[in-house]
């Protein structure tokens, strides 16, 4: 027990006064004469004994009365359980990731959490509030009311350890009361490693329905003469008994609609659209999370890719049958007649069994690769290993010495971009090609086609703009039957495609993807990305007659945009958020076992107040004073 005014306890010495009064009888007795005291003797003894008891009772009562009164003025109390944390600052970590779009019993989880804060946070309460993307330091609820009401959802995952580090860096030597408001979706114990030594409270927002459908990707599965077949891949989390509608929009106009039955977790929908510019989205209605129900994409009217094959005329003849005038501007040239000035305008360059590769060509190829071009290298059986490795070394690969044994290609990387849209399903019953002699590829190249011994026949490297494709062996008809294989056409066709001129444009926000665009800019000109509601200027690098755009974490809102040069639209482009918050079944409340779990913010403030409020005892001593005062009066009246 402690006292707010311990100096008043010195008045306890006053307890000596009633003791002195009772010990020293200051009253003078008078003699009374009776004619006969025989009958009073017993009565006198009895009265004297009763009077002695009464005096001791009054003494005890007065001592206790005076002691209670003095102690009451000293204001005793018991120290509060959380008294050591009275100086703590309050830090609120609010999860505003996309999974908080889910609906609870009172509406969307984030909006309900914001309303809880606005209704139950005292106006004089100072706190710091940190979300996935924003922070407000040393503020109060009125100052940030509008910001909270307009708080947007974020594709940035909720990582409380990172947010707490920001708070600790702001005030390093101040204790903290940590309040975490989250749905705990995809929360891991490693995200809570720094939460030690502070009062911890968790307000867990729970969704009523954890089933959700996510549109994961859209791609061209088949290109016909006048039409594209566009495929939409979707993922279902949870069970959906009813068929779900899927709609395709070009701009704001409904183009097509279908229904999908999710009898398996992954399902696809296919749409056929005209082979021309498309700038729209596909959407699904699942009555759950909204951010992954829409996938924006753009298709530009296909342009012919520029392809040049460098090699002997006879060996280039099979390529002219693949690269037809309908889809390509194809040129075949021998090394001696090569026009170096035309190479920078090419989308793909094929080195077809060159016996010697000059250094000037190697430098040109390296520059083209950096600017987004595709390089195809087919080695010659008569070529110099050192010369070939000088070329491959610029791309991070190398050839090992040639082997003479016959090998068969037996493995296809079906998920590689070259074959992603070629095969409807994986197959083992395939006419695989063979090779008589060839090199072995080493380095950081990814296998596309592989031999029986798992070494690559065809490998690839990429810088996210351009690609390098490397064959391990010559593919002329003397050394291999690859030209007769069904793989020859899709392999070379797709190796020459420029993703900026064909295919779907759909960039994932936050993955720092780049785009190469044909554009010539003057000194002060910049390209802008804009739509009806917002615009931003991406990072850009001028590369002769091209511009490399890097988008980083922009834009903040998914949608269809246009890349513009002044008022001129150069290209339509679309952006989508990563589907990292789609699985609501990943809620992990168990990792919050060290937190005090509460149902609302009001409970947090109530708990903190109760833990840090001392137990005041002075009122009980006042009551004790009154009790002993009444007791003294009763003794005076009834005890004889």
- Predicted confidence band at 500 (pLDDT cuts at 50, 70, 90)? low
CA distance 289 to 293: 7
- What's the rounded mean pLDDT across residues 130-134? 93
CA 584, distance to chain mean position in Å, is: 13
Q: Specify the DSSP element, H or E, that contains 59.
A: helix 41-74
pLDDT band at 77 (very low <50, low <70, confident <90, very high): low
- pLDDT in the model for residue 188: 83
Residue 172, token pair as written in the block: 């390093």
Say if residue 555 is preceded by a cis peptide, omega within 30 of 0.
yes
Residues 6+ apart with CB under 8 A from 237: 210, 211, 212, 213, 214, 265, 582, 583, 584, 585
pLDDT higher than 70, residue 281: yes
Q: Parse the chain into domains and list their residue ranges.
A: 2-79+616-638, 84-209+587-613, 212-299, 305-495, 505-576
Measured in residues, the chain has a length of 640
More confident residue, 240 or 426: 240
Give residue-wise pLDDT tens across range 405-443: 899 998 988 888 888 777 766 666 667 889 999 999 998
CB 614 within 8 A of CB 77: yes
Strands (E), 285-423: 294-299, 305-311, 328-333, 348-352, 374-378, 397-403, 407-412
Please report where in the chains the tokens 């994986």 appear, as a residue.
Answer: 426
Q: Is the dihedral of CA 247, 250, 252, 254 positive or negative?
A: negative
How many Å apart are CA 471 and CA 376, to the nearest integer?
Answer: 8
Q: What are phi and psi of 614, to 5 degrees?
A: -70, 150
Instruction: List, as one string, the DSSP characters of 200-245.
Output: EEEEE---S---EEEEEEEEEEEE-SSEEEEEEEEEEES---S-EE
Give the homologous superfamily in CATH for domain 212-299: Immunoglobulins (2.60.40.10)
Mean pLDDT of the chain: 86
Mean pLDDT, rounded, for 88-111:
91
Topology of domain 84-209+587-613, CATH: Rossmann fold (3.40.50)
Question: Which region among 117-126, 304-313, 623-632 has the lowest average model confidence (pLDDT)?
Answer: 623-632
Is residue 152 scored above 70 in pLDDT?
yes
Structure confidence at residue 22 (pLDDT):
72
| pLDDT for 41 beyond 60 | no
The answer on pLDDT for 498 being more than 90 is no
CB contact at 8 A, 418 and 374:
no
- In CATH terms, 505-576 corresponds, of 3.30.70.360, 3.30.43.10, 2.60.40.10, 3.40.50.150, to 2.60.40.10
**pLDDT of amino acid 270:** 93
CA–CA separation, 431 and 141 (whole Å): 70
Closest CA to 94 of 60, 55, 47, 141: 141
Lowest average pLDDT, out of 12-16, 233-237, 526-530, goes to 12-16
Cα torsion 490, 495, 496, 501 to 10°: value is 100
pLDDT at 69 over 90: no
Alpha helices in 253-335 (DSSP H): 313-322
What is the b/e burial string over 60-80, where b = at least 16 CB atoms within 10 angstroms of the residue's CB? bbbbbbbbbbbbbbbbbeeeb
pTM (2 d.p.): 0.74
CATH architecture of 305-495: 3-Layer(aba) Sandwich (3.40)
pLDDT at position 557: 92
CA distance 39 to 60: 34
Are the folds of 212-299 and 305-495 the same? no
Query: How many CA atoms are closer than 13 Å to the CA of 313, on its beta-carbon side?
Result: 2
Band (476; pLDDT cuts 50, 70, 90): very high
Strand 294-299, strand 278-284: pairing: antiparallel
Label residue 275 by pLDDT band (50, 70, 90). confident
Predicted pLDDT of residue 183: 92
Residue 7: what pLDDT?
A: 82
Q: Tokens at residue 533, please?
A: 């509601």
Least confident residue range of 40-54, 316-330, 590-604: 40-54
- pLDDT, position 136: 94
**Residue of 52, 91, 73, 56 whose CA lies nearest to 10:** 73
């Amino acid at each position: 027990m402690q006292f707010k005014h311990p100096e008043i306890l010195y008045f306890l010495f006053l307890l000596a006064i009633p003791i002195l009064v009772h010990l020293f009888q200051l009253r003078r007795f008078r003699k009374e004469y009776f004619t006969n005291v025989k009958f009073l003797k017993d009565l006198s003894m009895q009265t004297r004994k009763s009077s002695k008891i009464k005096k001791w009772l009054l003494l005890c009562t007065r001592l206790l009365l005076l002691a209670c009164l003095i102690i009451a003025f000293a204001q005793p109390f018991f120290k509060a359980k959380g008294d050591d944390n009275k100086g703590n600052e309050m830090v609120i970590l609010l999860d505003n990731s996309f999974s908080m779009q889910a609906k609870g019993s009172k509406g969307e989880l984030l909006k309900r959490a914001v309303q809880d804060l606005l209704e139950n946070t005292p106006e004089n309460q100072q706190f710091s509030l940190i979300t996935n993307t924003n922070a407000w330091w040393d503020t109060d609820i009125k100052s940030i009311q509008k910001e909270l009401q307009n708080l947007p959802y974020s594709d940035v995952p909720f990582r409380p350890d990172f947010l707490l580090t920001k708070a600790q860096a702001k005030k390093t030597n101040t204790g903290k009361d940590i309040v975490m408001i989250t749905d705990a979706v995809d929360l891991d114990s490693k995200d809570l490693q720094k939460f030690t030594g502070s009062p911890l409270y968790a307000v867990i927002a729970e969704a009523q329905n954890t089933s959700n459908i996510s549109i994961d990707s859209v791609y061209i599965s088949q290109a016909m003469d006048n039409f594209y077949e566009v495929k939409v891949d979707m993922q279902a989390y949870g069970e959906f008994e009813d068929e779900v509608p899927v709609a395709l929009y070009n701009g704001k106009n409904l183009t097509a609609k279908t229904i999908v039955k999710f009898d398996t977790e992954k399902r696809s929908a296919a749409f056929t659209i005209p082979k021309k510019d498309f700038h729209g989205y596909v959407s699904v209605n699942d009555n759950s999370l909204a951010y992954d129900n829409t996938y924006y994409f753009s298709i530009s009217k296909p342009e012919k890719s520029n392809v040049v094959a460098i090699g002997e005329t006879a060996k280039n003849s099979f390529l002219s049958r693949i690269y037809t005038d309908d889809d390509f501007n194809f040129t075949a040239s021998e090394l001696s007649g090569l026009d170096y000035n035309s190479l920078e305008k090419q989308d793909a360059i094929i080195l077809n069994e060159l016996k010697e590769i000059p250094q000037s060509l190697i430098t040109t190829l390296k520059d083209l690769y950096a600017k987004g071009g595709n390089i195809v290298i087919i080695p010659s059986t008569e070529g110099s290993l050192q010369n070939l490795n000088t070329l491959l070394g610029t791309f991070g690969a190398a050839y090992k010495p040639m082997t003479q044994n016959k090998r068969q290609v037996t493995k296809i990387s079906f998920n590689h971009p070259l074959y992603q849209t070629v095969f409807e399903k994986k197959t083992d019953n395939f006419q695989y090609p063979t090779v008589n002699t060839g090199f072995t590829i080493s380095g950081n190249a990814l296998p596309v086609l592989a031999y029986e011994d798992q070494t690559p026949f065809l490998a690839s490297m990429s810088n996210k703009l351009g690609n390098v494709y490397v064959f391990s062996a010559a593919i002329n008809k003397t050394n291999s039957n690859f030209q007769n294989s069904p793989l020859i056409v899709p392999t070379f066709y797709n190796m020459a495609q420029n993703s900026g001129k064909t295919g779907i444009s759909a960039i994932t926000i936050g993955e720092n993807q780049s785009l190469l665009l044909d554009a010539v800019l003057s000194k002060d000109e910049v390209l802008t990305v804009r739509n009806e509601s917002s615009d931003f200027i991406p990072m850009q690098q001028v590369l002769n007659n091209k511009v490399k755009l890097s988008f980083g974490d922009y834009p903040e809102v998914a949608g269809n945009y246009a890349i513009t040069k002044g008022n001129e639209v150069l290209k339509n482009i679309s952006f989508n958020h990563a589907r990292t918050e789609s699985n609501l079944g990943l809620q992990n409340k168990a990792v919050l076992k060290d937190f005090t779990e509460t149902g609302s913010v009001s409970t947090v403030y109530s708990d903190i107040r109760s833990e840090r409020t001392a137990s005041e005892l002075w009122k009980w001593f006042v009551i004790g004073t009154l009790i002993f005062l009444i007791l003294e009066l009763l003794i005076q009246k009834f005890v004889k």
